[in-house]
């Protein structure tokens, strides 16, 4: 089977990369091809990386509180570049009330503190990539709240 390719990126002024490195290593050990972009990426640079690397997934790690500024920008750029078939997951310090708002933007899943690597691996293996539509978002939002 062809390994799934995922770009992992830190966007904006956020130097906390312990979490994303743990995820990168966990996904590598689960057989993924992980392209790690490094710290302080701009939304434009992240979208360019996804495009050039032909990744199925983009994982964003944001611990700076700027997720409601950065994620919409990235998703808008992805739609503009025709990358609707790439899925986006977000991890980091994301307040619970922001989760439905991120899902409504097209994010497939938000992984908050306490998530295990196995959860992320299972999700990526069982979910189709691609930006989510509004209906999918509300269904997935309901699921997140009951779990």
- Binding residues for other proteins, rule: CB under 8 A, are 2-3, 5, 24-25, 27-38, 42, 44-45, 47-49, 51-54, 81-83
Distance from C-alpha of 97 to C-alpha of 18, rounded to nearest angstrom: 24
Q: Which residues pair with 90 in a beta bridge?
A: 60, 110
Tokens 């690597």 correspond to 117
Closest distance of CB 106 from other proteins, Å: 18
Give whichever of 25 and 145 is closer to other proteins, judged by the CB atom: 25
> Where do the H-state alpha helices sit in the chain?
18-29, 43-53, 67-80, 99-105, 117-126, 134-146
Nearer to other proteins, 24 or 137 (CB): 24
Which residue, 27 or 103, is less far from other proteins as judged by CB? 27
Instruction: Report the nearest approach of other proteins to the CB of residue 92 (Å).
Output: 19
Query: In angstroms, what CA-CA distances link 48 with 41, 55, 58, 78, 127?
Result: 11, 11, 11, 9, 23
The least CB distance from residue 11 to other proteins, in Å, is 12
CB of 36 to other proteins, least distance (A): 5
- Would strands 57-62 and 87-92 be described as parallel, antiparallel, or unpaired? parallel
């Amino acid at each position: 089977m062809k390994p799934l390719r995922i770009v992992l990126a830190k966007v904006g002024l956020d130097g906390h990369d312990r979490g994303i490195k743990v995820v990168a290593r966990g996904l590598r050990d689960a057989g993924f091809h992980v392209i790690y972009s490094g710290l302080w990426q701009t939304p434009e640079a992240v979208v360019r990386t996804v495009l050039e690397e032909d990744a199925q997934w983009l994982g964003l790690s944001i611990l700076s509180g700027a997720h409601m500024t950065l994620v919409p920008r990235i998703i808008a750029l992805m739609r503009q570049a025709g990358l609707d078939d790439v899925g986006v997951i977000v991890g980091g310090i994301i307040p619970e009330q922001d989760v439905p708002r991120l899902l409504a933007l097209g994010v497939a899943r938000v992984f908050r503190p306490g998530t295990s690597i196995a959860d992320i691996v299972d999700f990526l293996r069982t979910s189709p990539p691609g930006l989510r539509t509004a209906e999918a978002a509300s269904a997935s939002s309901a699921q997140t709240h009951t779990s």
